[in-house]
Structure 1
Amino acid sequence: MRITVFGATGGIGGHVVRQALAAGEKVTAVVRTSSAFDLEHPSLEVVRVPGLDAAAPLREAIDGSTAVISGVGARGRKDGPVASRSTKSILAAMDAVGVRRFVAVSAAPLGPTPGDFLNKRVVWPLINAFAAEVYADLRVMEADIMGSAAEWTIVRPPKLNGKPFTGHYRTEAGGTVSRGYLISRADVADLMLKSLSDPALVRRPVGVAY
């Protein structure tokens, strides 16, 4: 399998690249021209683009791949609509070269409201208020993905941390993991890669948490 990875210099995207290579996959990592990315591997191709709205380079990076994974997202409230803008360009490039399978990362607050008290009454209201612009961007991104011709999966994690990979986490296809407050970026990357070969997750969002 050849996988094109966007956001390869980010926390989740970086784990996706390394885990895919460790599993024996071929990877095309798409990074901005100005970004530092020094990973080398016989099965890794690095494609540098001036921006994620550069149509021709994006098509070339995706052409011939089996699937596309996007770990692109805003790192803060001042980053602007990074996720929606880049995803729109990625979907257009995928459509142009006939690649259908797409897995993207979003966030748990875009899923159904969980029934547990702490998430419902405390955690989610606080983070929605604090990061309203980020979640507004992700809502646009999700709507574009769901309205596309792609065979998509949207992965919705709660708060991310930098702890090591465990491989042990809970998922909820179409829903939100109850009492799920944390997950590592490495474990989110694991689920995104596993989603590629899971037909039950095609055209479905999936919640994930410990």
Structure 2
Amino acid sequence: MSKYSPTLEWEPAMKLTVFGATGGVGREVVRQALDAGHEVTAVVRDPARLGVPAHGRLHVAVVRDLTDEEALVPVLTGRTAVISALGAASNKQARLAPVTGPSVRAIVSAMDRAGVRRLAAVSAAPVGPDVETDGVIARKVFLPVLRWALRDLYADLEVMEAAIRASGTQWTVVRPPRLLDKPRTGNYRRVIGANVPDARTISRADVADALLASLTDPATAGHAVGVAA
């Protein structure tokens, strides 16, 4: 494991569909993808919440029900790759109306119909296995309490990950710890196939960076990737 410093200057430009585009990570994905020269279709329920200035390579698609596969196929057709930044805002929301798992299940099915193979999705570090080198307090106290307090949110993400693994996509799942509203550094720790040791936080902007970078990194295909500052 080492500090990871990806570059977003890719050629050729990609055509991306971004789900969860009005959230903290999704909005950063849209901004960074546009800055890198990509064409972006941002899938939203409410365009007013996107918060990204109009751009010649930005298309906004309103889809009210992300479990409606028929509505998803048109926003995926002709795209290079898909990024899901979907996630419940709270444990209560995930308990009352889980969205991430059911939505991603419909998304991967619609991707198959549209002929789109590459997918990157954000999950969460507690969904992955413990890091044995982390302290006893972290593994035996902090993480069990966190997993219990946010059990419905993580259960929703587990459904999402299971749907992705069962799909025919070339997938990458990015698992960050606690998210912060800080600028992108492009300099963070990354572990393919495991969580980052002693992980505490990472900025939403760096998670967006990791999602975008994974799309052109064959080493991440078919793996969960831990990221942390």
TM range (shorter): over 0.9
Query: Where do 5+ consecutive residues of structure 1 fail to align?
Result: none
In the alignment, is residue 109 of structure 1 matched against residue 126 of structure 2? Answer: yes
Kindly provide the amino acid, as one letter, of the partner of residue 85 in structure 1: P
Q: More deviation in 26-35 or 131-140?
A: 26-35
One of 14, 17, 32 as aligned partner of 1:4? 17
What stretches of structure 1 move > 4 A for 4+ residues in a row?
Answer: none
State the shift of 1:110 in Å: 1.5
Distance 1:34 1:183 in 2: 27
Indicate how the Cα distance of structure 1 residues 38 and 128 shifts in structure 2: closer, same or farther if over 3 A, else same: closer
Instruction: Render the CA deviation track for 1:88-107: whole Å, top value 9, x for unaligned.
Output: 11111101111010000001
Q: CA RMSD in A?
A: 1.2
Aligned-partner SS, 2:49: coil
Return the TM-score normalized by structure 2: 0.88
Q: Give the structure 1 partner of residue 141 of structure 2.
A: 122
Supply the distance in 2 between the matched residues of 1:35 and 1:127 (Cα, whole angstroms). Answer: 33
The aligned amino acid for 2:100 is A
Q: 1:36: how far off?
A: 2.6
Q: 2:83 aligns with which of 43, 63, 69?
A: 69
CA separation in 1, counterparts of 2:35 and 2:169? 26
Q: Which residue of 2 aligns with 1:175?
A: 194
Q: SS state of the match for residue 89, structure 2?
A: coil
Q: How does 1:44-193 map to 2 (within 5 A)?
A: 44-80=58-94, 81-115=98-132, 116-117=134-135, 118-193=137-212
Alpha-carbon contact 2:40-2:59 (below 8 Å) kept? yes
Deviation at 1:168, TM superposition (A): 1.0
Deviation of 1:127 after TM superposition, in Å, equals 1.0
SS at match of 1:52: coil
- Using the aligned pairs only, state the percent identity: 50
Select the residue among 28, 34, 37 that pairs with 2:41: 28
Higher mean alpha-carbon deviation, 91-100 vs 112-121, is at: 112-121
User: What is the distance in 2 between the residues matched to 1:34 and 1:74?
Assistant: 19
Cα deviation 1:174-200 (Å, max 9, x = unaligned)? 001001110010000000000000001
Match of 1:19 in 2: 32
Deviation at 1:56, TM superposition (A): 2.4
Give me the whole-angstrom Cα distance separating, in 1, the residues matched to 2:106 and 2:187: 33
CA change 1:35–1:124 in 2 (3 A) is farther
Give the number of aligned pairs. Answer: 210
More deviation in 11-20 or 125-134? Answer: 125-134
Residues 7 and 143 of structure 1, relative CA distance in 2, 3 Å threshold: same
1:59, distance to aligned residue in structure 2 (A): 0.6
Letter in 1 for 2:41: T
Query: 117-126 or 63-72: which moved more?
Result: 117-126
Deviation track 1:135-186 (CA, whole Å, cap 9, x = no partner) reads 1111111111101101000000001111111111101100010011100100
Q: TM-score, normalised by structure 1?
A: 0.96
For structure 2, list consecutive stretches of 5 or more residues without a partner in the other structure.
1-13
